Amino acid sequence: MGKLILILGGARSGKSSYAEQIVHERGGNHVLYVATAGARDDEMRERVRKHQQSRPAGWRTLEAEQSVGTAVMTSVGDAGAILIDCLTVLVANTLLAAAGPENDPCGDPGDDPFQQAIEERVKTEVESIIACARELDADVVVVSNEVGMGVVPPYDLGRAYRDLLGRANQVMARHADEVYLLVAGIPMKIK
């Protein structure tokens, strides 16, 4: 059985680079890189392109904006390590699919973002990733933003998102074999 490893940190803290280092050490060229972000505009398409160019050519990429655990189980192949980058975006995808305004993720929500049903969807996503990690021989590395050190968002969709991601991080950390917090590119093992 592989390990479940959680990498936390703020924006641009070095989380993804550190996670890539871990999966490269553990999986070599047999890595499945799971991208949860969709490229919906030119800026995001350029980010995706740069990320893809920086990864070793042998790594396989799986794009999965939701149902990540299921997607990994059907795509794992010969991967010795799996990198899920990132839980932060997966939670946002789940929330916006349920309560986000049509074509305007910064506007008023189309539905109550604090619905218990939305939290259940996020919980299902997290539990699916944990179950996947427990079933595979490959190590599973999950990247996520630590949201508990910032300001309280001024709008309800932002507060709901912060709450959902904070709870998702707690569940993932509780089940993880190892947890690292990155600050200014420096990893600190906290579990």
Domain-wise residue ranges, the chain: 4-189
**Least confidently predicted of 40-54, 71-85, 138-152, 171-185:** 40-54
Which architecture, in CATH terms, is 4-189? 3-Layer(aba) Sandwich (3.40)
Mean pLDDT (whole number) for 143-169: 90
Q: In a 3-state reduction of DSSP, which class is residue 31? A: strand
Going across the sheet that includes 31-35, the strands are: 60-63, 31-35, 81-85, 139-145, 4-9, 178-183, 186-189
CB 117 within 8 Å of CB 175: no
80, HSE (Cβ side, Cα atoms, 13 Å): 11
Separation CA 44–CA 49 (nearest Å): 9
The span from the first CA to the last CA of the chain, in angstroms, equals 19
Q: Is the pLDDT of residue 124 over 70?
A: yes
- Residue carrying the six token digits 């680079």: 17
Q: Is the pLDDT of residue 66 over 90?
A: yes
Dihedral-angle region of residue 173 (phi above 0 means left; psi in -120 to 50 means alpha; beta otherwise): alpha
**Closest-CA residue to 10 (of 149, 111, 134):** 149
**Closest-CA residue to 100 (of 91, 89, 112, 90):** 112
- The CA distances from residue 28 to 61, 82, 95, 177, in Å, are 14, 11, 34, 21
Token pair of 71 as six digits: 């997607």
CB atoms within 10 A of CB 129: 26
- The CA distances from residue 33 to 27, 160, 162, in Å, are 11, 28, 25
The pLDDT of residue 182 is 97
The pLDDT of residue 96 is 84
**Least confidently predicted of 76-85, 127-136, 142-151:** 142-151
Per-residue confidence band for 97, with pLDDT thresholds at 50, 70 and 90: confident
Q: Is the pLDDT of residue 110 over 90?
A: no
The pLDDT of residue 158 is 87
Mean pLDDT (whole number) for 99-114: 60
Q: Which residues are designated catalytic?
A: 51
Q: Is the pLDDT of residue 106 over 60?
A: no
Name which residue leads in pLDDT, 57 or 6: 6
The pLDDT of residue 117 is 84
Classify residue 59 by its DSSP letter. Answer: -
Token pair of 61 as six digits: 């990429």
Instruction: Record the pTM.
Output: 0.90
pLDDT per residue over 72-84, tens digit each? 999 999 999 999 9
**Least confidently predicted of 11-15, 50-54, 90-94, 185-189:** 50-54
Separation CA 3–CA 83 (nearest Å): 12
Mean pLDDT (whole number) for 79-97: 93
